[in-house]
Structures are given as structure tokens and as C-alpha cells.
Amino acid sequence: MSDVLDYTLDGGVAVLTLDDGKANAISPTVIAELHAALDRAAGEAHAVLLVGRPGRFSAGFDLSIMTRSTEDMRSLVTSGGELLLRLFTFPMPVVAAVTGHALAAGALLLLASDVRIAADVPAKVGLNEVAIGMGLPEFAMELARYRMPPSQFDTALLGRVFSPADAVGTGYVDRVVPADELLAAATAEAHELSHLSSSAVAQTKAAARGALVDRVLPNITANMATITGPTS
């Protein structure tokens, strides 16, 4: 699709590979291209596989925008939240191949995906917004609440980051595999899930998660009006 996001169709699996050659920051361009990729997948695939670049799944929202102005930060995070909530209820299985660091919005991509498989590499996974001086938006807290054991929720919200292995117990990751086995394991998982009934998957995800999205999404702009950026 572009130099940042590559889309390939592997049988029934839409493989979305994010690689900007750097930190895989989430920018307005990346958000727009992920929406376009999901639109395309909806018409030709039965599962989605998200893949990062070696060592970096995503370091989160583009800091050059996040620190430029409060208005720019709020606009970026709002559009990112809308994408994440779409992914959370996307009507087919979504598998994430966690290639490395997954911080802030990168960690939220994991919380919004259905199956998360991480490489056993030195990496940091977590919601580090509070640690860099930014309050968490409501959509981020609700995705975390949906995924995390109650005993881990408050610790995670206070900015603690985890290794991939430790992230399993927190709800960010389902399992960890050797780095050289990650792509094969995630691809196999996505292909297996692609054989599920599309209507059954869509109905079940909507029933399980639709009420959360219906509650959070209409208030996202108002909630973001209360959030200040990491430089405040």
C-alpha cells in the first residue's frame, strides 16, 4: 500500500506489515492506511495478521505530533482511538505478531487484537503514558480493563512496562515464541482462525464488545478535551 504499510493476501489472511524503518510510530498517515487496509481485508479476507518490523512492533503515537500542540495531540489520539475501537470489533479474527517494543498506542494495538503472539526478544510492552506525563484516555483504559486481570490493571495504568514474557500475565500478550519462529507461529494461528464461520465471529465479537464501543466511541472527542499531552 505504501512504504510504511505493506498489504498482502495470503490465502484467507490479510497480512498487514508495518515498517517505517524506525519506531513504527502511529501517525495520521499510518491510521489512514490501516483503515484502508481493513476496508480491503473486509472484502477479501477471513482473518487479519498485524506484523511489526524486527525489534519494533510500534512505539506508539508519533511524538513529533504529540508534542507539537495540544490540539494536534488530541486530534491524533482521537483518530487513533477510533481506529483501535474499530479493530477491537472488526468482524474477523485479528492476530498480532509482536516483533519487539509495543508501547503506548503500540500496546493498545495488542489490547485491541484477538490473539497476540510475541517474539522472545529484549523488548518493552506496556502503557507508558502516565510515566511520560500524559493521562490515559477513556478508550485506552477500557481496552485495558477488558483485557487485564484486575490484579494487574492499576499497575499497568501507572506506566509499568513489561518484557514480552511478563506481558503474558498482564493481558498484553497470549504467548511468547522464539524470534525465529514468530512469523510462522502467527501466520499459522491466523490461517487456523480464518476457517471459522465469518458470521459467527462477527456476531460473537459484536455481542462481547459492541456495548463497550457504543459507550466509549460517542464520548471520545469530549473525553479527549480533558487530556493533556506528554509535555504538560
Asked if residues 119 and 177 have their Cβ atoms less than 8 Å apart, the reply is yes
C-alpha cell at 69: 500542540
Burial status of residue 4 (CB atoms within 10 A of its CB: 0-12, 13-18, 19 or more): middle
C-alpha cell at 150: 484486575
The catalytically annotated residue of 44, 71, 129, 189 is 129
The rounded distance, in Å, linking the Cα atoms of 223 and 8 is 36
3-state secondary structure of 50: strand
Count of other CB atoms within 10 angstroms of residue 65: 18
44 annotated active-site: no
Asked if residues 213 and 39 have their Cβ atoms less than 8 Å apart, the reply is no
Q: 120-123: which pairs have CB atoms within 8 A and are 24 or more residues apart? A: 120/164, 120/165, 120/176, 120/177, 120/178, 120/179, 121/55, 121/164, 121/179, 122/163, 123/55, 123/57, 123/98, 123/163, 123/164
What are the catalytic residues? 129
